[in-house]
Amino acid sequence: MPKNKGKKRAHNNESDAVANKQEATTTSSAEAAPITAEGEMPKKKFYRSRAHCNPLSFNEAFDYPTRPDLFDWTEDHYPEHPTLAQDDTEMSGFNSQSAAIRPDVLDVGCGFGGLTMALSPALPNNTILGLEIRAKVTEYVRLRIVAQRKEHPGQYQNCSVMRTNAMKYLPSFFPKAALEKLFFCFPDPHFKRKNHPRRIVSERLLS
């Protein structure tokens, strides 16, 4: 009798293990499932990421133009920019109107895009771009902008977000004297002397 009870108990343990495994699989599938449809407002809980990222040790490759004037900002970022008019005149391989559209206000380390979104109606005559190094956070801001454009036609067309390492690639996107404003909200101060090269606000970047 004790042996049978032991077998029954073992069988029950196996059943519980299988049930727990199935539940874990269901839970993981449910966690992986939320992918925000284009045009819908994303939920921040699915796009959270570590607050800090060392830009000096971040070795993932980013695409960047060889010269700032070769990058067409209207293709992915400002397809319906307020100043964009229909013009068939070609200039340097793309529309002359498109060539004139370039961000002049940057939100460096934009996070979840609160300031980037607020600057759009506050500075209607400027072109705002949020820069973020974290992939999930950048995607959240992009979806948020797309959702606002859909909900408010004609608005938020002068703001966008781009994933890049601003400390490395900023000069590749913007020529000298091209920016009117730079926002650095809550940058990591890096008090230790050995970490001073990680500071985003530095002579190297601003020069």
* Residues with catalytic function: 188
- AA identity, residue 49: S
Query: Could you give the strand order of the β-sheet that contains 105-108, starting from the edge strand earlier in sequence?
Result: 159-163, 128-132, 105-108, 181-184
> DSSP letters of 155-202?
SSTTEEEEE--HHHHHHHH--TT--SEEEE-S-----SGGGGGG-SSS
How far apart CA 56 and CA 44 sit, in angstroms, is: 27
Q: Return the ∠ at Cα 180 (arms to 139 and 69), rounded to 5°.
A: 70
- AA identity, residue 135: A
